[in-house]
Amino acid sequence: MTESTGDTNANKRAWDELYRDTPGSVWGSQPIPFVAEFLADIESDLSSESRLLDAAAGEGRHVPVLLRSPGIVFACDASSHALEKIAQFNGSVQRHQCDLAETPFADDFFDFISLIDTIETLPNPDVSLDEMHRILKPGGLLLCNIPGKEDNIAEVAMQPVGANEAAASYLYQGTYFYRFYEETEALSLVKSCGFEVQRNEIRHWEEEAHPGFREYAHEHTSRVLLLRKPMTVST
């Protein structure tokens, strides 16, 4: 397991309270542009039978992007208050409240999973990535982003936590866990969980203020990874 300097349960509670206490949406309705961009490139591999999961979906700002692709769309998050907000704008999504590290889905279930703006917030991301690997079909794809310290939000209103400064772990506003990854660390993390790296690219985008969380418009820079669960090797 990767070194943990945060408390997973306290962190999940903090996110849930943010959604509970924020009228309307924290993240807004605009999806991050790279999600549609990457999905468009793999759409020809999907069919109406495909299963797509937005993992740690929050209020579901990326769900409409998944719904434009062929297939059946699922969304999961640890926060019941976040999932309730998804229902307000779309009833055609199967919602599940669960921990990313222990989902209710069968082995080899999904063709595609998106895990957006989340890995950097997990104290133990390897456990969640192991679970994403379990529920993906062999050959299935995981789209995620893993920012490094070049992200404009890195270290802003963040206090370092843990003994190992090189691990770049923080609490944002004294509450929300963040860790930033250099490229070698990000690749080592996903490979240690059994994924092959299909694409490894940097993207920049702008976001409006997030009420109750980050009260000003800001820019992000992040590494975007398209990962593949290898086909089982027959012996």
**Which residues lie near ligand SAM (CB under 6 A)?**
8, 11-12, 15, 27, 56-58, 61, 77-79, 82, 99-101, 116-118, 121-122
| Contact call for residues 229 and 136 (beta carbons, < 8 A) | yes
Residue 158: phi and psi, rounded to 5, are -120, 130
State in angstroms the smallest separation of the CB of 177 from ligand SAM. Answer: 9
194: left (phi over 0), alpha (psi -120 to 50) or beta: left
Q: What is the three-class DSSP state of 184?
A: helix
CB of 9 to ligand SAM, least distance (A): 9
Q: Which helix (H) or strand (E) holds 178?
A: strand 176-179
Quick one: 78 or 167, whose CB is closer to ligand SAM?
A: 78
* Closer to ligand SAM by Cβ: residue 61 or 95: 61
Residue, CB closest to ligand SAM: 58
In the complex, minimum distance from the CB of residue 202 to ligand SAM, in angstroms, rounded to a whole number: 18
- How is residue 65 written in tokens? 């992007």
Burial of 173: CB neighbours in 10 Å, binned 0-12, 13-18, 19+: exposed
Q: Which is nearer to ligand SAM, 61 or 179 (CB)?
A: 61
Indicate the residue among 156 and 231 with the shorter CB distance to ligand SAM.
Answer: 156
Q: Are 119 and 190 in contact (CB under 8 A)?
A: no
Helix axes 80-89, 8-21, angle to 10 degrees: 40
**For ligand SAM, which is the closer residue by CB, 99 or 130?**
99
CB of 44 to ligand SAM, least distance (A): 25
**Closest distance between ligand SAM and the C-beta of residue 93, in Å?**
14
- Measured from the CB atom, is 77 or 111 closer to ligand SAM? 77
Q: How deeply is 185 buried, as exposed, middle or buried, from its count of CB atoms within 10 A (0-12, 13-18, 19+)?
A: middle
Minimum distance from residue 32 beta carbon to ligand SAM (Å): 7
